[in-house]
Structure 1
């Protein structure tokens, strides 16, 4: 039997505001519509990343419309883990006002490559109720005890991302790690998000290699959050208890 995953939302996209991405939000929405997506999340890098926008950028995302060209637009951030306490580089004041908060490790933002330090940071991060999705956990630059991370994510219902960009040149050496993580997610039954991590509009909705990995691992369609807008909205509404603004 051929298993197919039809994804309706791309929840990890960067605009020109990230400093090393090359498309506007309008261009991103247009590309999403062309690919048949119903939702995008604009998740520019947090301010610890070189070239990333100032805190005020995230505070002013409220001026964006909730929909552009028939595509629902979530206002978010890809925040950086900055220490082994799992702290992030954007204040709670801003984080709790966003629709969606992604978090992960990035070069220059987290100073250790020791597995114990990285795992401690990730497990502590999961205690923060503001974090919605953990991105590209398979990055070999930041080694993790994958079973500890996947089991806790499943217990807490926090989606781990299988990142398509990790198979296309970003974070070289991620493939085996991502495949192992995907198999563990299947075994533990936790939620997963498939993200493009697009830095250019033409890559919005590009999920092919990540989808292959998820299917090969035996992850069920029910575990994949972004197979419907309704699933995404329901999840984020449930999480918004500790945030300021509801997603309408």
Structure 2
């Protein structure tokens, strides 16, 4: 399976990443990506940029090194009510919103609390994808959350970094269960390198292998073509991106 979109990447603006957007785009071109989503951490994460950083992404060219650039964010799920740390005004200026649990922002609690938070963030309509759900520190009712995600057209991320074994240790078995159950339910999947250094841009081999293990239909993998990814954004209610007309 070919993956042509990386939907989860960071620049040095995140505070604990080490490459610029230009370096990431150059790496994306070398590795054959067609679209790169830049998704720096939202303001509540320690070291993350001010909200003006996200509001000003409109100045980023739509193509860098012949790679389409999606203006995004990795927001933080803040509480069981499903609040995220992106101002509603900012949302209107972004193409792509992932939200994730991060220990410095949402202290690990009970499975019931994590499930409630995820269900509420999905139902809020404010997020396009749920990031690195395999983290065992944030166990949740997989069937309930993925069923809700399907109903609301929220993508489930298979995070390659989680599958490497050194980030969010213990995620591999959880990611496997998420892929298996997600196949049964029929969710949309997305794939993210979660790169914090340009060499890891488009490093999606483990995520692709997990999706292939469960023979997940490419129609459900939104990163398997530019058309599928951009049409998913339309499904989410986003406006067409005029500059990407040839990619639809």
* TM-score bucket (shorter structure): over 0.9
What is the distance in 2 between the residues matched to 1:216 and 1:113?
Answer: 31
Candidates 11, 36, 47, aligned match of 2:32:
36
- 2:121 corresponds to 1:125: yes
RMSD of aligned Cα (Å)? 1.1
Please, which runs of 5 or more residues in structure 1 have no aligned partner? Answer: none
Candidates 125, 139, 161, aligned match of 1:165:
161
SS at match of 1:124: helix
Q: Deviations over 1:211-236 (max 9, x none)?
A: 11111123121110001111111111
- The residue aligned with 1:85 is 81
- The residue aligned with 1:141 is 137
- The residue aligned with 1:48 is 44
What TM-score, normalized by structure 2, do the two folds share? 0.94
Residue pairs, 1:99-248, within 5 angstroms: 99-168=95-164, 169-240=166-237, 246-248=240-242
Please, which runs of 5 or more residues in structure 2 have no aligned partner? Answer: 243-248
- The residue aligned with 1:14 is 10
Q: How far off is 1:95 after superposition?
A: 1.6
Contact 1:133 1:159 in 2 (8 A): yes
Q: How far off is 1:130 after superposition?
A: 2.5
What TM-score, normalized by structure 1, do the two folds share? 0.94
Contact 1:48 1:80 in 2 (8 A): yes
What is the distance in 2 between the residues matched to 1:218 and 1:119?
Answer: 27
What is the distance in 1 between the residues matched to 2:119 and 2:100?
Answer: 12
Q: How far off is 1:246 after superposition?
A: 4.8
What is the distance in 2 between the residues matched to 1:224 and 1:233?
Answer: 12
Contact 1:183 1:218 in 2 (8 A): no
Q: Deviations over 1:171-205 (max 9, x none)?
A: 10000000000000111111101111111111000
SS at match of 2:73: strand
* Structure 1 segments of 4+ aligned residues over 6 angstroms from their partners: none
SS at match of 1:240: coil
What is the distance in 2 between the residues matched to 1:136 and 1:60?
Answer: 26
Contact 1:83 1:111 in 2 (8 A): no
- The residue aligned with 2:246 is none
What is the distance in 2 between the residues matched to 1:89 and 1:220?
Answer: 33
- Count of aligned pairs: 241
